[in-house]
Structure 1
Amino acid sequence: MQVTINASTYELTKEDIEADFATRTPEPVTTYWVEIAGRRFPVKQVLAVATGLTKDDFVSSRAQSVLRRLGFDVKSSAPGARGRVPGSTRTFAGVEWGLATAPDCYEEAPSGKLHLPGCAHGVGTPVRTWSPDETLAAWRNAPDVELRLQTDPGWCSDCAAIRGATDPVSPATPDDKPGRTGRAERQAISEAARLVLGPGLRGEGSVFDSGVVTWTAETARALDRAMDAASTDGTFRDRLVQQLAGQPRAVVLLAAELCFVQRLPLVNVLPQTKRRLLQDVLDVLDDKPPVPEQVVDALHTLGVFNGGQGFNQQIPQHVQWLCRFIALWDGLAEDAREEALDDPWAFRARAREVGDDGAPIRNSLLALVWPTYFERIVSAADKQSIHEAFGAALIDPSGDVDRDLLALRDRLDPDGHLDIDWYTSPWREEWRAPKAVIERHGWAIPAAIPGRPLVAPALDFDPGEPVERRSIRDAALRAGAGRRPIEDVLAQIDAATTFYVTMQSGDQVFVNDDQSIHVGVIGDLTEGGERPVTWWPPVAEADVPHAVLDLLASNSTISDAHYLLNDPTPPGPVALPEATPEFAARLHYDRAWLTDVIELLDERRQLIFFGPPGTGKTYLARALADFVAPGGAVKIVQFHPSYSYEDFFEGFRPTVDDNGTATFRLAPGPVRLLAEAAAANPSVPHVLIIDEINRANIAKVFGELYLLLEYRDAKVSLQYSPEDDFRLPENLFVIGTMNTADRSISLVDAAIRRRFAFVELHPAEEPVRGLIDRWSAAREHDVSRGALLRQLNDRIGDTDRDFQIGPSYLMGSSARTARGLERIWEHDILPLLDEHYYGRMSRAEVRARFGLAALEPGVVDAGGTLEVGDELPETAPA
């Protein structure tokens, strides 16, 4: 099998590796390993020897992926990576758990809890060990009471008991992302944090230098004082490096450790940025030790929360709070530390003693140390809002937000299958303050009957006096939580709130019938619980955007269409709809990503998709336009070097008058025509698509429209119609596309860069990276070309990032056969690379490096090779 790492290709087989390692000495196992000749070898040792690379050239998860593809069984010594014992699934107090598998035994802590060997909690010196059979017998005989409160024995729910159908897995990588859950992400980040937190909390040597113990009160106070020193100008990194100059080795190492703890769980900081900060800190030392490979691997673990501007900028305060925590921790008696490591609530009590000024980093620390007890939420306000929104579902609320959030998770998701993420739909809509809404709504109601009033949705609870969402939600949670699936309860809350509270007189209703869309204006709620409707004549499906059609085809009871059919009533600001599941499925894109892009377009009014050729920029632009606007409200223009303001907006064009005399007349261009249509239909989104926007002289083409792109409420005097005051309507949206192989963004006019939001579509990044595989899977193709494309782009490399090849070239039917693939390569892909590498590589060199034969695509997952010119069998494995 061929493997590409850092643009170099290696031919590897399982047999060769096993023969090579039959006589080698295993290095110490950290977490992930494979068994060869009855011995455990770390995955990074195996891949490094097999390829001749150093271990710094790749991360552990890359090694795991390669070895799995070769047929090795990659195992883990991490407690959180174990599966559940078959047949051990049990329900305790209404909550489903499973017993995690143990390699040899369980360990009993002084508290009586059972832990897997290596667990971060509770076991310094085990009281005794329990065999797997003995443990399973105790599990089956345990009383049906809340698992976390059990004794004799007790169970560590962070390692010994597993909730839900999906057990934790190894960290995801950009190259090979397994299916993940929030639970898996929390466990993975906790395992990564243990590199620092494990030795620190137990008073052992630092991960950066095992001969130095850093978590001491003396060292923590010294770092705290150093960071209080007069700061210099520059970034936090610049200031910290100067503050650490001349400090003892332990202080510098502690600074690196605490920066690791603060930065590790952040989604919005790249692994290489995290690593660079740690290396800059370590470079203060005379020997400039490198960041250890296990720390590099940990930094590539998928983050669990977006820190936001506040969390990111408060790193100095967070590091100093952690210093004060260490000083307090080091001052505890040994039994007090053991108690805190065995009891999450005792640990939290100790953390609270440090003070409330560091609540975000304290919440982050709690989630890292106890991932199944504390939510991955650093904002105390967000925790409180969630508690208030769902508190009615609790049978016996404690008033302690953390304990109640844990109880809510058990109550709302007893089998663990939902693995609730409070920041995603439908949870966030219940607790997060809603965005400002437009004054009037259009509602898609598939069950409505044209010509009749709207009736209240069927509910399994009595909404009482439905005056606000909270009263409806509380009634539904009291009646249904724990008795019916929480998804059904939330859907009924949403439908009841929409009908009784949000829906107002003057809103519109849409319902489909026989290829037509019936539209009506809704009246006030009657005492009988109905809403009268004034129905209009039906309209054709083509007269409404696809977003409305998707909602009418869905199973939703009532959906906000974010669309109003034009009528004489002055509308509020136009709001674009969220991406529907049907829309995401059509495009094979992630729904959340599409919704983010639509929200960005809604906020900025104009954006540009940019990226290398073949990444689907124009296709996506047209699909988005059709989704948010009806067909007659979309125009597309293509820029080219001779395109001008006169072509784009308005200009004089030759014509013949009634007398047959040649003359010129002022004629509107596509922008003016679309702007006039949008102004005449202010409730309907209108979209202008500008394909290859960077190929024209943008400043010349846009002229005075520059101002209007930024200030939609402004008016300008026009170049050819100075008597007219012109403005761009709020409901006119602009989507541009830009090929980075033609021109870098840095060369685009700065005024345009300020006025447009830029969204990258790149073969190395999602959602484009996995597009070809999702597309192939949806069509049940036996062949996917995703691995082949990734291999080509790995060879092109990051240096020529803007010239990597997009998936569109390999998504046609011809790409599924060897001959068709050969034609695509010869006539589409290689000419692009010839042009790009002109002057650097000869034509022969381009083919030697990037040719189809050089890449040896093979039948990707079957382990075979494909001779160019052969036909792929239709039954070839995907």
Structure 2
Amino acid sequence: MSRFNPHADNEPVLRTAELWRDDCLLGNGSLLDKGPIWTRENVAQLVRYFVENPDEGDSSFFEKLELQLEPASPEARCLAAEMLYMLLLCPSNIGPEKKRENVLNVWSWSQRPIDENQPLFQDDNLRGVGSGGTGFNNHRWREMVYLIRVVDGLLALDEPERRALLNDPERLPRWLEDIPENETRQFRHMLLFMLLPEEFERVFGGSDRKAIIVAYTGKKKSQVRHLSAREMDEALREIRAEQEEKENTVELDFYETPLWEDWHRDDTASWLFSWDPKHYDWTEFNRLREAVIAGDEAITSWICTNGNVSPGDTAFILRTGKDPKGIVARGNVANGPYEGLHWDPDKADAGEMAQYVDIQLTDVRDPAVDTFISLTDLKRVTVDNQNWNPQESGIEIKQRSAKVLHGIWDKLPPVVEPRKKSGPQPQTVEPPRNVVLYGPPGTGKTYEMRRLQERYEEKATRLKPEEWLADNLQDVTWWQTALMALIDLGGKAPVSEIIIHPYFQTKAKLHNRNERNLRATCWASLHSHTVPDSETVNTEASSRRAPYVFDKDSEGNWFLTNDWQDSCSEFVDKVEEIKKGPSGNERTIKRHETVTFHQSYGYEDFVEGIRPHVDADSQALSYDIEPGVFKKICDRARRDPAHRYAIFIDEVNRGNVAKILGELITLIEPDKRAVYGEEGQLRSGMEVALAYSGKPFGVPRNLDIYAAMNTADRSIAPLDAALRRRFQFRELIPDPQKIAGEKGDGYIPDGEGGLINLRELLSAINQRVEYLVHRDQTIGHSFFMNVRNIQGLRAVLVREIIPQLQEYFYNDWSRIQMVFGDTAANDDLKIIRRTSRSANEVFGQLDEDLPEAVQYRIVPEEEITADAIRKIYEPDA
């Protein structure tokens, strides 16, 4: 029977699923509380505010969900919490503490009390029954959307029909086929297992389902890949029946002997990567451990001496050199070896490079609190004399040793999640990020930059009143602040009242002005825009500037005069906007700036420089020192330490970076970043005197720097070695798996009843381009992201891919033919056709013997056939 599970107790999960079906899906009640929660009205709100209002920003799943559900009712937020509970019920790779924390967090948004000690929140009910894998956690929002759509469809049925459907193993999977993304969502398999455990397997991962069917049916992978989820269910049911008869028992599980060995043929290699804390301080260890526990992406870059490591291989990280020694992490290699600046700062300064791989960690263990595999335990594994304490990082683990090691690791108890201590938690200051995104065109650098920018944006509605006021005064000058204070005070007030006004006080905090300087600042601001014919203000008329809006009476009260309402109407509106407050304001607060480097871009544009100005009245020319975009964003970040700021630099390698940054090259280092006190004094970090103004300047710790560069234009090699040491380099490579196609599987219809595999097409093109040129000149996946049919594919090939290849090969059309596989194909299957004409054909009979003229022509878009495209990745088809 499929409900048999030798690894965990299924019954708590199945009892909860039965309760959910009866009380919620059929009774419209609540799973965790009382009252009507699973209603069509509440589901409709989740559809409106979550499903139809996607947030593609870089915030966490819960940060985005909370923002999306702000307009929803308390009952709808309770429903979201209960849906999350059901979503997390089956996976065993998320601990009970984390599940409980996440559900209670979402429930808290409803402001309704809940019994945290009820049985459904006990660990036994939350341990799960099988791994959902990293894919389930990384796509949690997609799984949530799928669940909402399923419930929305179910509640649209009357109760008798709903009851019959939920108990019918034939009808229910057919009904689910109408739900979008049904074929690719893991919760689909969890749902069927929970409701009908006698009929559906506890195999949630798509790759595992396919591997089992391939192993037991003898079908090719390409055949199984095209099976629907329902057809796979039927195949798994038949396989189980055959194996139960063969083994003469119903207590069989696909993740246990004897079935496990039949289908789990792991032909990937396993590698041992060394970590010596005496030489390398792995500062991200705790963050990565927490990310794995939370089900978030956890990727680390690691030095690797072996060039044979391949994507998909298993990586074990061995702590050595300092007790406790042993294996503390396991993961999967995300990409092949690549070169980067050496991790040792001294070697990096000398320009020395090292070889790295990126590892997607799936389990990280702290020896102080978690069970791990000690070096002593490792040395007991002697089946093939494996060296368990190597001097290098990236040693292949021999096959039999790897099998034993995997077995030991799989039996380790779950990672312990330390409970949060009561009371206020210490505030941690996030270290600054210096990141360069690099890769070929079309690999998502621009998309990633936009995604990162959203991390530094906030809706005005989320601001506190004091933050709202500060944001509105960021770019307001002192005299404008005085003007706004006077407007708010009724148009007339003495200096003593102006300087204690919230506008003036907030402006002082932004500029770190102390109280004894405020009166002088206020006087100077008022005098600078006093009407020229004032009888009470004795300042030199030449020092006054338009607009002339201030004057003072004989009692020392300053007032607004002249045509101030016309010349300063924008500030009247600004005062009204401040009074309304952030509530209901749709404005987005952006705490970032973007700039593009180019050959003529310099220090004066980026940091500060001298710029000419013409006085509007006298037409006199003057030269002033003005801040550049980087200094401006640094000043904003310094004045607002509670928030993070960022600058985004596009095409960073097109400018002379060392010259543009000048003396700031040292200040951008994370450990040199400046931290300022409330009065603006430097508390830690460094400052230097700027070249033009001579004023002290530091780069605030709460400013992040992101840069992007296109390796097809220029590699990272020319970048200054000192600069490369100060940045983390993150390569974005073509990822065919991100291509959706028509239905999310990478395929599009060819218009003739067949299919074209866009993922294999891109892989084939890039394999040839990399061979002929370089991996930096490959084609990115984004070219194909919006292709849904063959017409769109033809247009992309002719209008985007071919021009890109022309640039790569300097118009060598014979190479482009090689990329498309046109050299060996007949003319009907060619995309680039080659013709030749003799001199006699062109000029008539000539005495001179001239060579033939070779011409290449792109086949018109509408004439490119599906077979001509398919032959690129299936040359023998």
TM over 0.5: no
TM-score range, shorter chain: 0.3 to 0.5
Q: TM-score, normalised by structure 1?
A: 0.37
TM-score (norm 2): 0.37
Which of structures 1 and 2 has the bigger CA Rg? Answer: 2
